[in-house]
Amino acid sequence: MNNAESSTVISGLAWFKSSYSGTEGGDCVEVAVSTAVVHVRDSKAAAGPVVTVSPNAWAGFVGLASSEQRV
């Protein structure tokens, strides 16, 4: 994982929020997928730091997070 990058350094990516995110703001993250890593940032601070993780790590996180939603 690398959290030292900033969104201004990582340009040209297509950022998106979850379809579960509301339009009224709140606590959201945005994700951009590149060929080798998944970039994650705070939607309210788009120019702030970016966390990068491997696709496998992201898939594991999403799997755990979505299973928590079913509880």
| pLDDT per position as a tens digit, 20-58 | 676 666 668 899 998 899 999 988 888 889 999 999 999
User: What is the reported pLDDT for 58?
Assistant: 93
Q: Is the pLDDT of residue 18 over 60?
A: yes
Long-range contacts of the stretch 9-12 (C-beta < 8 A, 24+): 9/50, 10/39, 10/50
The residue among 47 and 60 whose pLDDT is bigger is 60
pTM above threshold 0.95: no
User: What is the reported pLDDT for 59?
Assistant: 92
